[in-house]
Structure 1
Amino acid sequence: MEVKEVKLVAHHVFVVLLAASVRTQVNPEMCRYPLGMTGGQIQDEDISASSQYSESTAARFGRLDFDNGDGDGAWCPGVTSEADGLKDFLQVDLRSLHFITLVGTQGRHADGMGNEFAQRYRIQYSRGGSDWVDWRDRKGRQVIEGNRNAYEAVLKDLEPPLIARFVRFMPVTDHSMIVCMRVELYGCEWLDGLTSYSIPDGHQMIYRGRDVYFNDSVYDGASAERLTQGLGQLTDGTWGLDDFLHSQIYGMWPGYDYVGWNNRSFPKGYVEMIFEFDHVRNFTSMKVYCNNMYSRGVRLFRQATCYFRSGPDWEADPVVFRPGADHVSQAARFVTVPLGDRTASSIKCRFHFGDLWMLLSELAFQSGSAVYNTSRNKGHPTSLLPGYDPTHKLDDSNTRILIGCLVAVIAILLAIIVIILWRQVWQKMLEKASRRMLDDELTARLADQTRAFSFHHSSLSSEEGSASTSTYERIFPLCADYQEPSRLIRKLPEFAQSAEPVEKPEAACSDNAPHYAEADIISLQESSESSTCPVTAVNISLFAGTDSSLKEFPRNKLTFKEKLGEGQFGEVHLCEAEDMQDFLNEDLCIEGNNMSPLLVAVKTLREDANKNARNDFLKEIRIMSRLRDPNIVRLLAVCVDSDPLCMITEYMENGDLNQFLCNLRLRQAAEDRTEWEEKEERSMVCDRKLIGMAAQIASGMKYLSSLNFVHRDLATRNCLVGKNYTIKIADFGMSRNLYRGDYYRIQGRAVLPIRWMSWESILLGKFTMASDVWAFGVTLWEILTLCKEQPYSQLSDEQVIENTGEFFRDQGKQVYLPKPPYCPDKVYSDLMLSCWRRNAKQRPSFQDIHTQLVESLA
């Protein structure tokens, strides 16, 4: 009990310190908290509207998931004529600036008596309440797709996020129609306090014949020779890549993530920026995210000179900071500029060029609110060179007192923890047991739980029987009280029953390979050395050794192109391999690709990896070296003669299938398309080609299933596209930041692609060939929708998990993915739905799936 209490207190202290450390650095992936429309933190007086249909549909009722008891429970604008020229809106006052990343809308169902909702809407926002800005996405579109029925909530990410105090929801509809809305805003408080920045407009670079634009394309202020009275890409929470020719946002132009300037356009050798804040603040530092690709003429700024203003005039003595030139690393990074505890409501900084180009992607300020005399203070330092310790000015804020208290609390907690750990030192002996023995023990406990579960649920007995004959891989080791990934497991009374002791089942073949948060392309189900299960001929052949055709590739012939992502093993890079085709044996040569250099994916093992991780990395090399199938990504070569260890796999020139299909769709995307344009889009990739892609994936999975492999993360993001629509199954999806929204994190221990997972995988932790079949059904749905949206996009992650509970209960309340618009009825009813059958034994095999898809193409 003492240990749990100490850990709980330590956790709270860590959260407080974490919040203090990141308070001026907004992360859009974490800043997604409801701001109070649903919970009531936003008061009724802060919600207003242009009009209302009746008193029972006033603005104060426009709260998401709210019912006022009168059966209305939504805001409905009054019926206005077009001649009035008025735009209906629902306005929310957040009382302070907020960083808003997500919005949610809902219609009015009135307990089945109403059916009014907004199919489309726009958003306006203001930081001061006088000047209103129309929100636009990164491609300049204003209209947001809303609801399709009156009761389901639809959440939409705002890309880019907006910084505002006032937000208006404006339904886009015929004025003769009645629409109703309930809304919620998601984000966090904008503690930077920055209300606008003024900078010169960005320049255009021509690099090797390519146009590279460094303009601030999402700036929401006035645009002339200088950008004024607005915010934009320097505060959108998205940082640029090391290579400025590529973007974090898919489909954007080269240079999109950066705002940059050419030295030749500034005779004085610096770019001047002015920052305005909401009130007088005490500034400690400024963080500037800079590109440093000096091989292309881009370097960090050479010097930053910052002036401060609290009244009408700028103070005379600036703060000067010189970061020093970096001639080693070309990686982009944050540079922290100390501001010496100066007080101001405005800051003017001059960034001096270090080379021909200077590129910035993000700015953040660390400060505290303070009340000071606005007259000059003689104690300010005039220079902040490296190693200089500025004299901190006394202030009236409680920041230092709070930090001192936190340090004292942490010291006390550390002392308590040391005492408790000293008393329990014998527990350390248990941690020295081998990882394999621990995994065997946990597997046996899982088998006990599964047998006990089936004791109370005879309807699952047939499925549990299959689990003992087909091996499966776990996301992470499960113990007998498995209650992840959702609170749903505690809501099911069946799981709360105390299981009676049952006879322990015979030893079953189990997966002993340790789990990594990175989704491997395949996971070999091998028996441990101590297992009593027979080892099949397939397993023996795969572990007999690495394929003799696999060779050591010279590292100096690999040229880095871009970072694809990062997993538990290490990083995954996209590289060019010089003379790879000449290096490969005949059976490894890639057909139809005689280009040199060859595009490859290089997975590396981080140098600080422990012995277990190193062995698992080498084990994966041995496994993949034996795989030979036209629809599985091949391992081409390795670099294992020195650290870091690398495995080199083929990478298809058209990238992953998800982005490939999105790109096909976006070529014809427009807000209002004609019927002819709809036909043109369909002709770009006909149904037969889509089914052909799915058939290739089924063929690859048929090969893996013949070897008793379980993929665990089958999706379009994990399939690569080559020439002539060739598809190969890979495993890079989880390691890419682009797809982090497809995974659900469980208390920091693992990430799960729950929207692709079967119900038994989520609730019971069972991963079999049948669960891969379920994931294939979702992948087929993605393909036939051209990846227009995420599966179950109308549901939150928690609602997706709740839906798996309905599959478990089997009371006809489970929600299936809808039939895609152009999907053949037979493919949906006979194939797709069969992949999502509750009983895993009733799902088709990949052999059956492949046969059915091939027959549909005949």
Structure 2
Amino acid sequence: MSNIEIALTIPTACWPMLSVCRYPLGMSGGQILDEDISASSQWSESTAARYGRLDFEEGDGAWCPEITVEPDNLKEFLQIDLRSLHFITLVGTQGRHAGGIGNEFAQMYKIKYSRDGSRWISWKNRQGKQVIEGNRNAYDIVLKDLDPPIIARFVRFMPVTDHSMNVCMRVELYGCEWLDGLVSYNAPAGEQMNSPSYPIYLNDSVYDGAVIYSMTEGLGQLTDGVCGLDDFTHSHVWPGYDYVGWNNESFPSGYVEIMFEFDRTRNFTTMKVHCNNMFSQHVKAFRQVVCYFRSDLDWEASPLSFSPVVDEKNPSARFVTVNLANHMASAIKCHFYFADAWMLFSEITFQSDTAMYNTTLAPPKTGPPNIQPDDPTHKVDDSNTRILIGCLVAIIFILVAIIVIILWRQVWQKMLEKASRRMLDDELTASLSIQSETFTYNHNPNQSGTTSEQESNSTYERIFPLGPDYQEPSRLICKLPEFAQSSEDPVQDGVPHYAEADIVNLQGVTGSNTYAIPAVTMDLLSGKDVAVEEFPRKLLTFKEKLGEGQFGEVHLCEAEGMQEFMNKEFLFDIAEDLPVLVAVKMLRSDANKNARNDFLKEIKIMSRLKDPNIIRLLAVCIYSDPLCMITEYMENGDLNQFLSRHEPEGQLAQLSNAPTVSFNNLCYMATQIASGMKYLSSLNFVHRDLATRNCLVGKKYTIKIADFGMSRNLYSGDYYRIQGRAVLPIRWMSWESILLGKFTTASDMWAFGVTLWEILNYCKEQPYSQLTDEQVIENTGEFFRDQKRQIYLPQPVLCPDSLYKVMLCCWRRNTKERPSFQEIHQALLEIQP
């Protein structure tokens, strides 16, 4: 292992992204393919570009250019294609060591980057310096922060020397994917404010486009993730540095025009503008903004107008949120009107339905570098490292042996159990098809009236074998309404389990459904006719794509005449001559046979879920391809987006003119979610992804539980990818689900507590936002050890003690001590004002 030399100088972050978005992008981990690494030249085939990977010793140990690098000769470079735009915050370099044979390294280097592969931009720091100090030997890794960070697809490392010398390089980039989609903004150049003591420069000093009288085709301080202070005259560089500002005397029209270009057409929900409001210096947030949208070649005729409340009491800088009302556009042009002599912005971000500015991006397979901000020269002793590696290898061998023994015992135990079960009963079984990608409604074969401990398919390696006790399938069938029958057999107390061989998993169309259902029950359900009718495709009108997955897509559509195809027991709150808003899950025509079979089985299961707080299956299109299932959709969208656009009742909401939701209505919505989960748990279904993103909002705060959340890029930051395969909502998951792979009604109860916490925070913050994904997983280990060091979600400001106690009950370590959904529903009814 190589030593690491680190220098960190992170400014005040506007978003946690600057500190969180620091994961290796794939040079050392191999995610970046050889064909995406190129160079201007190579000394030999064994020092080609593909060998320029940090901490690798393949080939001759590094990339080396063909000729000696001379002073001021920037013709040699190592280029990396990231395939998409990335937010890059950190770079690492290393020389050629080659086991002691090589001694070539770059003492200095420059970086060039490009977003389109045609226009290349030279990176410079906030003081205008382009040259980055590199390596002092051939083996140490030196990490350098990019301040400001860059947004690019292509990056070039260009070695620099002060005399002719041979150089070789190994490199890594650190950051995360740029999901905001903004590729450039055009704006008037920032101006100078004259103060009695010194001039204050309000120009965009890191803008990487052309700057003459205006700024064109670039990105800069408005997208660097750094917010200005309340007092704009203070900065870590020079007075006014963090802001771009304009004086109203320079704009006779009374507004500043800024145009934003995006990578593709997007469905925009909000724009957030960080404004200074130091009115004592004649600086205020904008009085009004008028935005125009361009989706193809022409600008829409009808602009959107928004007027925030002018605040002359609080001088603090703040974000002003502009509701963009789901306009579709690839470019937005906004006119910001002056409220005073000066208008100063430091950051502008956009939220769209295809991607959002993600502050907690899931790291790729390789973890972050071991960065210690307080120790800029931290080095790891090489001999100690070798000893540590030896110990780790020994531990790994021991663990592998233990796992093999456990698996062998588990397989042997199951073989004995199956043999005895065949002799006692000729029940049907189906082998478990391991699908660790997704999760939503899962049938839990459990007869317990409160919490249930059925072990669902684990996304991790199983730590403990299944218990020896299995519930008889005939008893489970009685739980489903259509198979209900009077039985005098007593319900067993305790924890029922099913062997994996007795469980059938169904892969959902969008990659967000998995049903774990006992084989006997599945066979009986599959033998029933579908309880929904075929719907004519021609009566469906596409509105918007809500999401997509491995096997299909989810579309928002309008359905004409849907009322004629519905059961009389289901009533729409819409006139018969008006179209109904529906969600259509569509299976791709090229889906394999297993996916088609699962799709049809999913229809049969969904057709039997009938509860006022569960999304209903309305109709199907299965007589021809593509296969479709049509479900309800609520006009106010999902609960997460709905609450994030609202504020609590009070003076602040009145000042900002924002829509409000009362505390009473928050409790009412939470009670409905508990009611829906009570119904699912009564059928022993486990949801496995309960969160506000999976709850839809209708009229009068009606809530229905759904399962679209994972298929939407909007919520990609809520899911953590395990080894490039499984995707888990770890911030909502119980400790036993993360560590043991156990998904039960009790783990759904844990997720309900987190969902309740979201609701009372108006979905303004992600759970455990102060923790990285790795730290969230580590915290689950503290729950497992139960040494009183675990971190709980804090009590929301608007949450009374009685309601916070309900949350804490949901997060009890012992699953049997967590309440049932029936108890939670009753408790919320009593708390509700």
Please report the TM-score for the alignment, with normalisation by the length of structure 2.
0.50
TM-score normalized by the length of structure 1: 0.49
Higher relative contact order (CA 8 A, sep 6+): 2
